[in-house]
A = this chain, B = another copy of it.
Amino acid sequence: MRAGLICLALTILATASAHADDLQKLSQDPKQWVMAAHDYANTRFSPLDQINTSNVGKLQVAWMFSVGTRRGQEAAPLIVDDTMYVVSSYPNKVFALDPVSGDLKWTYIPYQDRAAQGVACCDVVTRGIAYDDGKIFLATLDNHIVALDAKTGREQWSTKTGDINLGETTTDAPLVVKGKVFVGISGGELGVRGRITVLDENSGKIDYVAYSTGPDKDVKIGPDFKPFYDFMKGQNLGETTWPPDAWKIGGGTVWGWFSYDPSLNLVYYGTANPGPWNANQRPGDNLWTSTVFARDPDSGEAHWAYQLNPHDLWDHDEIQENVLLDLDIGGKTRKVLVHPGRNGYMYVIDRQTGEVISADPYDTVNAYKGVDLKSGRIIPNKDLEPDLGRMVRDVCPASPGAKDWQPSAWSPRTKLLYVPHQHLCMNFKTSDVGYIAGTPYVGATVDMFAGPGGYRGEFMAWDPVQRKKVWSIKENMPVWSGALVTAGDVAFYGTMDRWFKAVDAKDGKVLWQFHTGSGIIAQPVTYQGADGVQYVAVLTGVGGWPGVVANAQVDPRVRNGALGFTGATQDLPTYTQGGGELLVFAIPKPAQAAGGQPAQPK
């Protein structure tokens, strides 16, 4: 009875705080995890420290939950008030669970157009759900943004924001800023025109759409727009840096991460590669693909943009996380965003102006020769320029880049960024391709393989001030999971070959690892339960672009399957199958661990 009363009191308090509509504040409660990236700055840092470097070796599975799908699970669970929310890969079931006992509270299974599965380029993943003000926001693969009552799971509204007949799907985790739901669109390999859609959280009404290509009015470039570098200055560059009409099917999709700086009132996100991959078909810089945008969330107007890869040759999207940090650089505090580029460079960018402060390679890079900080332009390696039908060999990084969607974590204690990423090179050949709505629009054949040293992935700690790698753990497979770091100075990540690992955030020493059922490509989170115990939770279930060879009917013998990724992960099925199991870890209570008094079953 006592415990029940305490629970009730906590619920009332937490609900009140949620209704204060201050997600920023809620994200600072160390017990909760209220958005996929933990906070608006995308740090994935938890102030919890019950689990630390000296006791993490005692972690055990406390409970688990099967989401009932077996395709790639990339999502982060959310923990809000006394409830955990979990979303599965297609058909994007949403579950509400008790974060301590694992009991199921409610289930929501959206009706979806099954054809969405055939349209998704690279597995039928979702990267998460969002929460605000008593509602859970789900983006379905078939492009419906759905609001659910967080207490009951009842649908509040559902708004269609894309069309699978045009190759559009939705895979990113929405972010709520000031009562507006931000969501992107996927389908860069199917000629989709990239954009963000912003909806009112209460009504589901679309507030505005901001495109990644096309005339300035579509891109929401107006008087407020002040890019730092000259090559992005001019009228309607989203149209004029393309052949006629090519921008309409030119990609620049948005399927990664949003971050938000309340003090500057700017939302940040990156856009994907231009399409098709055959760059001969789209002479020009192809703005605003492979670009980081800073926008006013209220109006949607762009304040600045920075194109990382003008006229991208290699499918180097730049949708990765932008981690918002205040760093001491050159004797003064700079408001920066750190963006681990798919192109292999770690960018530190002034988030007020778009100025690139530094850009240093963090993996093997020969596709480029560096970033010219004066012009802001990346310098392509002319020796490796692809031409129609000519095979270009040993290009690094490969198409998935040195890093794809898998998000980093930042610890304010160690001042290090923990970066899960891959280490792959490729042979690359282009071909002419025609556009047919809703079908692949690629024009390249790719064969990927392990980069120098023979390993395919790495989990590393990067110092963005010293501009250097501090330590790294080489992994056999691409590290496709997110990272988590805590005030206990423990960093967590998962591997595609079925390990969940805890490492010392200071030196990268592996302190604990657990052999999971399926490989991990999801985002670990941590929270404190109503029982006062710190838990660590992660979805297992291999998949994603590198993992369809293990969870879908992709023949591992065909090296250029899955847009070329199969070549690099042919052996994945010798480690794992697909899955869909949420694992929740904790250190067993002493009474239980020491035996004598067995745990009291419910």
Report the minimal beta-carbon distance from A305 to chain B, rounded to whole angstroms.
42
Whether A63 contacts B514 by the Cβ 8 Å rule is yes
Whether B516 contacts A588 by the Cβ 8 Å rule is no
Q: Is A357 an interface residue (CB 8 A)?
A: no
Q: Is A599 an interface residue (CB 8 A)?
A: yes
Report the minimal beta-carbon distance from A178 to chain B, rounded to whole angstroms.
35
Whether A68 contacts B598 by the Cβ 8 Å rule is no
Distance of A578 Cα from B70 Cα, bound (Å): 10
Q: Is A582 an interface residue (CB 8 A)?
A: yes
Q: Given the interface contacts A60-B588, A501-B601, A598-B57, does A66 sit within 8 Å of B517 by beta carbon?
A: yes
Whether B577 contacts A67 by the Cβ 8 Å rule is yes
Q: Contact flags (1/0) for A553-597 with B, using CB distance below 8 Å?
A: 000000000000000000001111111111000001000111101
Whether B65 contacts A599 by the Cβ 8 Å rule is no
Q: Is A228 an interface residue (CB 8 A)?
A: no
Whether A578 contacts B66 by the Cβ 8 Å rule is yes
Q: Is A415 an interface residue (CB 8 A)?
A: no
Considering only residues 491-535 of chain A, those with a C-beta below 8 Å from chain B are: 498, 501, 510-518
When distances are taken between beta carbons in the complex, the residues of chain B under 8 Å from A501 are: 601
When distances are taken between beta carbons in the complex, the residues of chain B under 8 Å from A106 are: 574
Contact of A60 among B60, B70, B574 (CB under 8 A): B60
Whether B581 contacts A581 by the Cβ 8 Å rule is yes
Whether A63 contacts B588 by the Cβ 8 Å rule is no
Q: Is A414 an interface residue (CB 8 A)?
A: no
Whether B66 contacts A518 by the Cβ 8 Å rule is yes
Q: Is A286 an interface residue (CB 8 A)?
A: no
Distance of A581 Cα from B498 Cα, bound (Å): 13
Q: Contact flags (1/0) for A37-55 with B, using CB distance below 8 Å?
A: 0000000000000000011
Whether A601 contacts B512 by the Cβ 8 Å rule is yes
Whether B104 contacts A574 by the Cβ 8 Å rule is yes
When distances are taken between beta carbons in the complex, the residues of chain B under 8 Å from A581 are: 64, 66, 517, 579, 581
When distances are taken between beta carbons in the complex, the residues of chain B under 8 Å from A104 are: 574-576
Q: Is A107 an interface residue (CB 8 A)?
A: yes
Whether A61 contacts B58 by the Cβ 8 Å rule is no
Q: Is A334 an interface residue (CB 8 A)?
A: no
Distance of A538 Cα from B68 Cα, bound (Å): 18
Considering only residues 376-419 of chain A, those with a C-beta below 8 Å from chain B are: none
Whether A513 contacts B601 by the Cβ 8 Å rule is yes
Considering only residues 61-117 of chain A, those with a C-beta below 8 Å from chain B are: 61, 63-70, 93, 101-104, 106-107
Distance of A127 Cα from B512 Cα, bound (Å): 35
Whether A107 contacts B573 by the Cβ 8 Å rule is yes
Distance of A579 Cα from B582 Cα, bound (Å): 11
Contact of A68 among B60, B577, B595 (CB under 8 A): B577
Report the minimal beta-carbon distance from A169 to chain B, rounded to whole angstroms.
22
Q: Is A540 an interface residue (CB 8 A)?
A: yes
Whether B592 contacts A64 by the Cβ 8 Å rule is no
Interface-central residue, A54, A56, A498, by most chain B CB under 10 Å: A498
Distance of A517 Cα from B93 Cα, bound (Å): 15
Whether A66 contacts B513 by the Cβ 8 Å rule is no
Distance of A124 Cα from B512 Cα, bound (Å): 38
Whether A64 contacts B595 by the Cβ 8 Å rule is no
Whether A69 contacts B66 by the Cβ 8 Å rule is no
When distances are taken between beta carbons in the complex, the residues of chain B under 8 Å from A103 are: 515
Question: Would you give 14 A-B contacts (Cβ < 8 Å), ordered by A?
Answer: A58-B592, A63-B514, A64-B516, A64-B581, A66-B70, A66-B541, A67-B577, A70-B70, A104-B576, A510-B601, A512-B598, A588-B593, A593-B593, A594-B594
